[in-house]
Amino acid sequence: MKKLSILSRLFVCAGLAFAGFTAQADEVKGNSAAGNGKVWLCVGCHSIPDYRADYPLTYRVPMLGGQNAAYIASALAAYKKGERKHPTMRFIAASLSDQDMADIGEYYAAQTASSPNNQLK
């Protein structure tokens, strides 16, 4: 009888964890049109082909057009939490809300590497 009780508790906990995960995933939906107004700071580095930032180390700055929206939002969140260490990105991400990150992700997901707003002419 005790095994059934423990198993039942595990199922309840798993169900609650899954419900919490899906509720959190549904809370923030990115909007590429809204993201268009939020990438003004991003294009200064991420729109220059083969750009390398040199503080504190030399980093190859990636082009973001066509990247997965969830990946971009996740990377920005990791910079904000300090899990990713680039100081400039950490500073920028610290000012972004979850909605901002989702919007920026959707904006870049809708672009390609050669999109006009993703690459300087």
In a shared domain, residues 24 and 36: no
In a shared domain, residues 44 and 102: yes
In a shared domain, residues 45 and 66: yes
Tokens of 62: 């990636």
Separation between Cα atoms, residue 24 and residue 22, nearest integer Å: 5
59 SS3 class: strand
Separation between Cα atoms, residue 32 and residue 70, nearest integer Å: 13
In a shared domain, residues 9 and 45: no
In a shared domain, residues 19 and 61: no
Region of 110 (left: φ > 0; alpha: ψ -120 to 50; beta: rest) is: alpha
Please give the average per-residue pLDDT across 86-103, as a whole number: 96
For the CA atoms of 77, 50, 52, 112, what is the dihedral angle to 10 degrees? -20
* pLDDT band for position 26 (cuts 50, 70, 90): low
In a shared domain, residues 44 and 69: yes
Percent of all residues in the chain with a pLDDT value above 90, rounded to a whole number: 55
Q: Is the pLDDT of residue 77 over 50?
A: yes
Tokens of 96: 């972004």
As beta bridge partners, residue 59 has 53
In a shared domain, residues 57 and 82: yes
Domain count for the chain: 2
Domain ranges, residue 44:
31-121
* pLDDT band for position 10 (cuts 50, 70, 90): very low
In a shared domain, residues 80 and 110: yes
In a shared domain, residues 53 and 78: yes
In a shared domain, residues 68 and 101: yes
Please confirm whether the linkage preceding 56 is cis (ω < 30° from 0). yes
For the CA atoms of 7, 8, 9, 14, what is the dihedral angle to 10 degrees? 90
In a shared domain, residues 76 and 44: yes
Please give the average per-residue pLDDT across 89-103, as a whole number: 97
Question: What's 111's domain CATH number?
Answer: 1.10.760.10
User: What's the first-to-final CA gap in the chain, in angstroms?
Assistant: 71
